[in-house]
Amino acid sequence: MSAVSETQTKFLRGPKAEARASESLLTRLMTLLSSVRFGVVLLCVLAAACVVGMLIMQVNVEGFDKYYAALTPSQRLLYGGLGLFDIYHAWYFNAIILVLSLNIVLSSIDHFPKTWTFFSRRKLDASEKWLRGQECHNALTLAGDDARSIALRVAAACHSAKLKPRVTEKNGKTFVFAERGAWNRLGAYAVHVALLTIFTGGFLTAQFGHTGQMLLTPGATSSELTETSFKLDQPVQTSVTLPFKVECTDIQQKLLDKGGAVSPMNTLDWLTRIRIKDGARETEALVQLNKPFDYRGYRFFQASFVPEGKARSVTLSVTPDAAGAPAEEVTIKRDGAATLRDGTRIDFTDFYPDFVLSGARADTQSPDYNNPAAALNITKPSGETARAYAFPASAAQAGPMVGRAVAGYKIRLADFEKVGAAHILSVQKDPGASVVYLGFVMLSLTLVGVFLFAHQRVWAIVEPRGAGQFEIVLGGNANRNRVAFEDRFKKLVKTIEAGS
Amino acid sequence: MSNVIKHPVIISAPELKPNGETDGSTFVSYLPTVLAVGGAVLLALLRVRASGEHFISDGALMMLALACYLTAAVFHLTNLYAPAPLFQRLGLWAATGGVFFNLASWAVRWVEAHDRELSIITRQGGEMPWAFRYIPFANLYDLSLAFAFGAGLATLLIAYRPSFRFLGALSLPLAALILVLARFMGNEIVNLPPVLDSYWRPIHVGTASLSYGVALVCFAVAVVYLLKDGVKTEAMAIWTSLFALAVFATVGHFMVFSPATFGTYGASVQVATAAGKGVPIPVRADVPFVGWMIFASGLLLAGVVFSFARYVLRGDAKARRVGHALLKLSVATQIAGVVSLGAQLKSLTNVASLVNPRQYAALGAYIYEQQGVAQQQIASVGDAQLARAGAEFIQTRGPQLFLNMQSNPVEVSALITALAGTLFVLLFSFRTEKLRSALPSLDKIDSLMYKTGGIAFAGLALLLITGAIWANESWGRYWGWDSKETGAFVAWLTYGGFLHARIARGWTGRPSAYFAIVAFLFVIFTYLGVSYLLPGLHSYA
């Protein structure tokens, strides 16, 4: 704000005030847009907008409905009208970023020609007075044959101090100029190119990206994604159809404490096995926590799960009712079957974590493993079938079904592998991510390049003082890391002295 | 200069072998750092070999680190007022000890977290997850240890140059302050939410702690810059007092100054469960005297602001003396308040009787909510009935109610930080001119400020990048405007402002130093405030 008015007042008061006043509005606008001060003001405005977004809860944050309900009507009207509930997607927020990008580009164009002179027109000489005014300077007297040989000695010392020297002559004076890291002057521009690359990637993501959720129950196939957006406190679900089908073949949950619940905090990893049917092509894949799977530009992530207790497999201890017959132990996977020695087939059809009979129908009272039971179908070799429920030996509620023999067998639930009822994968299509990643790589490299290196320059004038004596005036500067430069300069002076 | 290029170039680069000699002083100057880090690694390796019971605990190591930082700070400060090589040396070695204990405490926590889950998993025949699951970056306490280490390390690396040794006088007390605040957060080892079990975690959080540490050092340099530049300590006092006043006004949701609860400060109450753990309930117990101490400190600081404003604006010498007297008094009342709060949080037993009955209705609503009663239903129940439910809870569970040091970590931290700010200003106003002359030249301080600010900027950029990559690998989005992300982004923007103000016409010098200070305040807000005050993904750490 203030920069705008200040810049303008300065124009009016400046020496070329009259000329400036007649400048077209466009020129003045360009001058403003390309000034670093305007850029700093924009940074502050952007930061302020972000802080507002942090302090006022945003629509996509969990608990927004509760927060929204607690606001007064006038607050809702004001915040809503100004778009503060979704400030990061408001038109003015995008406008700030756009103007900032413009400022970066224009200001870079403005400054670049001057920077380029560090390469195109290297400053090869300097006046003695100017050298003595540098942050590092020194004067030595050396004995030698001629100015040129002394200059070469200084150049050699520069070389050993890892500065690239050039010796020149002008108006009868001999100059040594040495520098290193001139490319560092370009670093700032590279940083800004990297930033603009990231902005571009972000724009691509916002325009062409999709993120949705997909519920996967073992055995089921789906090609629908649910995308959630928010209209204030009302979530809006939209459905997106994938160009292929996803079948869930298995879900698994690695628990920290196998005796505990299938809660997130007790879980080390979630595993979802899927089969993608894309026309005639089938692809098997495994999606794990923090190990997403990529297919045709879509990424599958573990997002959440339905925490109703189920079993991925059950281990049954089967005891024939007939006395003396040996017991058997079989492990059956979800929706799988096992055949006993006598040819009897057991199908594992369903699992109830907290078994209860509601009428004649089996059901679960809660999602927790309070009274686990496996629903089984038993088929005798004769073709006779029966339905049975297997409970653990320690079944809490010893109802009428516990321990009862079915089809000539007593079946107990010896063990089972816990898992949730379904996994929810997050599916993302993000054409901007690779551009953003490219920007990240560029930004990391360029920032390291900018801040860990510097453009260091040293000049020396060699002047004869008679009787084979030569005075050398040395001076130098660095665009950053002055302390390191001072060290190098001192070392350089020492090397020159030692060489005599 | 156009004729420069016409010079005949005699030689472009002499064919000479580069001199292979190394500067002998380099290794010696990094010796403290090498010793501290190497020693800590050795200690952690010993801990891997030894069993936990007979080994020094991470908490004890942290207290040793705190003691070392404080000792080092005292030596550094003494050296500023009465320069002596002995103090310099002692200060440097005490700081080295601090960094050693600090890192050792953090590393020992790693082993402890591993041992803790080892027993559960191997008992059931499971295979042990990789060691990085246990790297101590799981909560704010862990991060604070790393943050203080980052600050200590940056100080050690910079302070090997004698002219920059002044830095420790400011950065080491700040590192100690962070450890003190960490103490209030509680050092229990928490289970790691599974989604965080990624190799990006050590990279991301490691970057965070180191760049926060450098940011702290940059802040310290910026304050020193302003001091050297001749900013009046009275002007600084106005700002720290305004900060303290803001803290006093907001603690306990404006309770000290609001008419209904005037002059009281309440600490959040916890209920002990059967498992011996504390569960916080939305009720505050009035801690005797503390509210009045806060009120008195606020009043005195308001006086400080008023008198110093008169002095700064009108040059009123009498107002200046009055202001200094009030400042000293307010330090006394603030210390009394903090000490009395700390002591009573530990010792108070009759918590139930200290709960103001006005909170019963809110508690009742909370209890219904916990029992799964729907919001509309709770709203339809009258306040009187809610209050009865709350009162009954307080009566029956009275003996199980307790307060502890972790009751209100952010509020206690804010109170201590306000006190620290006031103390620093008091310190600076003691023989200010002598202090100014002991500091290196403005140019030198500025170049150090630029260097640390630049590294903090680059570090925060890497923090944002690694965070974005991690988020993209785990959640499928690289940027979501989560509060912590945004906070770090704002701090980064402010450092960007700092760097650009340096090249903007008319904004070099002081204005750019202000940017460095504000940027660090945003870093602190991101580190502490976001976790406790704002909702979001990073609410655990």
Q: How far apart are CA A181 and CA B425, in angstroms?
A: 42
Contact B198 A430 (CB under 8 A): no
Contact B505 A62 (CB under 8 A): no
Of B490, B521, B465, nearest to A88 by C-alpha is B490
Contact between residue A50 and residue B489 where contact means Cβ atoms under 8 Å apart: yes
Contact B472 A123 (CB under 8 A): no
Name beta bridge partners: B284.
Answer: B268
- Residue A171 zone, left/alpha/beta (φ > 0; ψ -120 to 50; rest): left
Half-sphere exposure of A444 (CA within 13 A, CB side): 13
Task: Please state the φ and ψ torsions of residue B232, each to the nearest 5 degrees.
Answer: -65, 140
DSSP-derived letter for residue B403 is -
Contact A165 B4 (CB under 8 A): no
A47, A123, A440 member nearest B494 (Cβ): A47
Beta strands in B120-272 (DSSP E): 266-272
Contact A47 B497 (CB under 8 A): yes
Whole-angstrom CA distances from A449 to A116, A182, A226, A456, B131 are 18, 12, 44, 14, 33
Contact between residue B294 and residue B251 where contact means Cβ atoms under 8 Å apart: yes
User: Is A52 part of the contact surface with chain B (CB cutoff 8 Å)?
Assistant: no
Q: How far apart are CA B255 and CA B290, in angstroms?
A: 12
pLDDT at B529 over 80: no
Q: Which residues of B touch A61 (CB under 8 A)?
A: 535-536
Whole-angstrom CA distances from B26 to A1, A157, A490, B38, B96 are 48, 21, 15, 17, 17
Residues of chain B with pLDDT > 90, as a percent, come to 34
Contact between residue A480 and residue B454 where contact means Cβ atoms under 8 Å apart: yes
Q: Which residues of A129-168 are buried (b: 16+ CB within 10 A; e: fewer)?
A: eebeebebbbebebebeebeebbbbbbbbbbbbebebbbb
Half-sphere exposure of A348 (CA within 13 A, CB side): 27
pLDDT at B105 over 80: yes
Question: Which residues touch B474 (CB under 8 Å, ≥6 apart)?
Answer: A289, A290, A301, B195, B198, B200
Contact between residue B416 and residue B338 where contact means Cβ atoms under 8 Å apart: yes
Q: A33-47, A84-98, A382-396, B2-16: lowest mean pLDDT where?
A: B2-16
Task: Please state the φ and ψ torsions of residue A445, each to the nearest 5 degrees.
Answer: -65, -45
Mean pLDDT (chain B, rounded): 84
- A119 → chain B, closest CA residue: B5
Contact between residue A409 and residue A321 where contact means Cβ atoms under 8 Å apart: yes
Contact B7 A124 (CB under 8 A): yes
> Which residues of chain A from 115 to 174 reach within 8 Å of chain B, CB to CB?
121-125, 135, 148, 151-152, 155-156, 159-162, 164-170
Report the amino acid identity of residue B342. G
- A212 → chain B, closest CA residue: B476
pLDDT at B131 over 90: no
Three-state secondary structure call for residue A5: helix
Three-state secondary structure call for residue A387: strand
Q: How far apart are CA B153 and CA B145, in angstroms?
A: 12
pLDDT at B194 over 50: yes
Of A341, A478, A350, A500, nearest to A421 by C-alpha is A350
A43, A88, A302 member nearest B493 (Cβ): A43
pLDDT for the residue A405: 74
Of A41, A299, A243, nearest to B507 by C-alpha is A41
When scoring A114, A290, A436, A482 by the number of chain B Cβ atoms within 10 A, the one with the most, hence best to mutate, is A290
CA angle A266/A269/A271 to nearest 5° reads: 130
Distance, CA of A437 to chain centre: 9
Query: Which H or E element spans position A357?
Result: strand A355-358
Q: How far apart are CA A320 and CA A57, in angstroms?
A: 63
Tokens coding B372? 């799964």
- Judging by DSSP bridges, how do beta strands A234-255 and A221-231 pair with one another? antiparallel
Q: How many CB pairs under 8 A join A and B?
A: 189
- A88 → chain B, closest CA residue: B481
- A440 → chain B, closest CA residue: B465
Q: Give pLDDT tens digits for A274-305.
A: 999 998 899 999 998 888 899 988 999 888 88
Question: Which residues touch B328 (CB under 8 Å, ≥6 apart)?
Answer: B426
Of A424, A219, A213, nearest to A307 by C-alpha is A424
B19, B487, B536 member nearest A61 (Cβ): B536
Contact between residue B464 and residue B485 where contact means Cβ atoms under 8 Å apart: yes
Q: Which residues of B touch A444 (CB under 8 A)?
A: 461-462, 465
DSSP-derived letter for residue A267 is E
Give the closest-approach CA distance of B399 to chain A in angstroms: 30
Report the amino acid identity of residue A260. G
Of B141, B153, B138, nearest to B62 by C-alpha is B141
Give the closest-approach CA distance of A375 to chain B in angstroms: 27
Task: Write a three-state SS string for A241-265.
Answer: EEEEEEEEEEEEEEECCCCCCCCHH
- Judging by DSSP bridges, how do beta strands A409-419 and A385-390 pair with one another? unpaired
Q: A304-318, A340-354, B57-71, B111-125: lowest mean pLDDT where?
A: B111-125
Task: Please state the φ and ψ torsions of residue A401, each to the nearest 5 degrees.
Answer: -85, -20
Contact B507 A121 (CB under 8 A): no
pLDDT for the residue B440: 87
- Higher-pLDDT residue of A476, A325: A476
pTM: 0.83
B11, B195, B473 member nearest A155 (Cβ): B11
Q: Give pLDDT tens digits for B288-324.
A: 899 999 999 999 999 999 999 999 999 889 999 999 9
Contact between residue B238 and residue B284 where contact means Cβ atoms under 8 Å apart: no
Q: How far apart are the first and last CA of chain B?
A: 57
Q: Identify the sign of the CA torsion B358, B362, B366, B371.
A: positive
Q: Identify the sign of the CA torsion B461, B466, B470, B473.
A: positive
pLDDT for the residue A398: 52
Contact B457 A451 (CB under 8 A): yes
Q: Which residues of B386-401 are buried (b: 16+ CB within 10 A; e: fewer)?
A: bbebbbebbeeeeeeb
Place of tokens 């009868």: A172
Name beta bridge partners: B272.
Answer: B278
- B119 → chain A, closest CA residue: A257
Tokens coding B225? 């810059």
Contact A40 B500 (CB under 8 A): yes
Contact A170 B7 (CB under 8 A): yes
- A304 → chain B, closest CA residue: B195
Concatenating the DSSP letter of every residue in A62-129 gives TTHHHHHHHS-HHHHHHHHHTTGGGGGGSHHHHHHHHHHHHHHHHHHHHHHHHHHHHHHS------HH
Q: How far apart are CA B217 and CA B224, in angstroms?
A: 11
Three-state secondary structure call for residue B520: helix
Contact A433 B129 (CB under 8 A): no
pLDDT for the residue B357: 84
Q: How far apart are CA B194 and CA B181, in angstroms?
A: 27
Contact A155 B504 (CB under 8 A): no
Q: Give pLDDT tens digits for A141-169.
A: 988 888 888 999 999 999 999 999 999 99
Give the closest-approach CA distance of B69 to chain A in angstroms: 26
Q: Give pLDDT tens digits for B356-393.
A: 888 888 888 888 887 777 777 777 878 888 888 888 88
pLDDT at B6 over 50: no
- Higher-pLDDT residue of B504, A274: A274
- Residue B289 zone, left/alpha/beta (φ > 0; ψ -120 to 50; rest): left
pLDDT at A333 over 70: yes
pLDDT for the residue A436: 94
Q: How far apart are CA B3 and CA A496, in angstroms?
A: 29
Q: Identify the sign of the CA torsion B369, B371, B375, B379.
A: negative
Contact A450 B454 (CB under 8 A): yes
DSSP-derived letter for residue B283 is E
Mean pLDDT (chain A, rounded): 87
Q: Which residues of B touch A151 (CB under 8 A)?
A: 10
Tokens coding A141? 């007297």
Over residues B178-188, mean pLDDT: 82
pLDDT for the residue A409: 84
Q: Which residues of A touch B10 (CB under 8 A)?
A: 148, 151, 167-169
Q: How far apart are CA A108 and CA B498, in angstroms?
A: 18
Tokens coding B172? 């080491």
User: Is A323 part of the contact surface with chain B (CB cutoff 8 Å)?
Assistant: no
Contact between residue B106 and residue B136 where contact means Cβ atoms under 8 Å apart: yes
Concatenating the DSSP letter of every residue in A206-242 gives HHH-EEEEEEE-TT-EEEEEEEEEEETTEEEEEEEEE
pLDDT for the residue B336: 94
B16, B447, B494 member nearest A159 (Cβ): B16
